[in-house]
Structure formats: C-alpha cells, structure tokens
Amino acid sequence: MEETLTRLNENLGRQVQLYRTLHELAGLKKEALLRSSLQELEQITAREERLLLEAARLEKERLLWADEIGQKMGKAAEELTLAELTERFPELQGVRAELDQVIGDLQNAHELNSQLIGQALDVIDFTVSMVTRPDDATYAHPKRNGQNPPPTRMHLFDKMI
C-alpha cells in the first residue's frame, strides 16, 4: 500500500506541475489576446493541446493507483475523492493543497481569457454591424424638403454574416 500511495503522490505532483505550466500559458494567452496576436494564440493553443493530452494520460494513471487503493478500502476508484484520501493518508495533504491552489488559479485565468475573447467578439460584431447596417438619415437634406428620397447607398455586405 505504501508504494501505491507513493506513486499516487508522484502522479499528483506531476499533475500539479502540468497545471502550473497550463496556468503560465493562460497568462501568455491573456497577453496575446490583449495584443490581438493570432499567431501567438495559435502557438499557445498548440502547446496547451499537447499538455492536455499529457493530463489525460496522467489522469488514467491516477485512476489505476486510486483503483488499487480503493480495492483495499472497499471502494471504487471513481468514488474516492482526494479529500477522503488525505483524511486517511495525511502524506497526500501537501499535494492536495498544491493541486487545489493551481486549479483555482487556472480557473480564474480561463475565466478572464473567456471574458477577453467575448469582448473581442463584441468588437467584431459591432464592426460588422457598422459595415452592413442601412443608412438612416437623421436629418433630411435641406433642398429636398421631403421630396425625392435620397439615393440608396451600396454597402459592402447586404446582411450580417
């Protein structure tokens, strides 16, 4: 059981490092979003994808260790929580605290980046609507006095895409 706990602790430690790297990338993504650098965003996203594949691999490995521990505790791996494990095995408390912290930081960074992306989309929508909206004359031309409607202007787009 001691070896299984050690391996689980190591696995969780590697996950902490991976999530820290993802948090660093989220910071770089924020800066790229602020600069509107699509090339940087593409590079960062590619790095994130590789890290997320590694995170999935580590999670599968974690479930194997949790399954071994769960069998000895009479529970399925999916039923075991890290909080429950740290109560029973205090040696996991340090990595649990680190994991809680880094995941919280990562969630905050993702929320901020989502807001920035939303704002960028709002600007795009506004720009498209300005290019495609019909001209509504606020004031009538003084020489027309309501006679002969003004000529229709051509727009780049007829409808919003």
Write out the DSSP string of 53-86.
HHHHHHHHHHHHHHHHHHHHHTS-GGG--HHHHH
Q: How many CA atoms lie within 13 A of 101 on its CB side?
A: 10
Burial class of residue 58, CB neighbours in 10 A (0-12, 13-18, 19+): middle
Percent of the chain with pLDDT over 70: 82
CA–CA distance, 33 with 37 (Å, rounded to integer): 6
91 DSSP 8-state letter: G
Closest by CA position to 2, among listed 61, 69, 81, 62: 69
Q: Per residue in 8-33, pLDDT tens?
A: 999 999 999 999 999 999 999 999 99
Q: What's the distance, CA 75 to chain centroid?
A: 33
Q: What is the mean pLDDT of residues 120-145?
A: 68
- Confidence band (pLDDT; 50, 70, 90) for 140? low
- Domain ranges (residues) in the chain: 2-132
Q: How many CA atoms lie within 13 A of 135 on its CB side?
A: 11
145 DSSP 8-state letter: T
pTM: 0.74
Q: Per residue in 79-105, pLDDT tens?
A: 888 888 999 999 999 999 999 999 999
Q: What is the mean pLDDT of residues 66-81?
A: 86
Tell me, what's the pLDDT at 60?
Answer: 93
Four-way CATH pick for 2-132: 1.20.58, 1.10.10, 3.30.43, 3.40.1710? 1.20.58
- Confidence band (pLDDT; 50, 70, 90) for 135? low
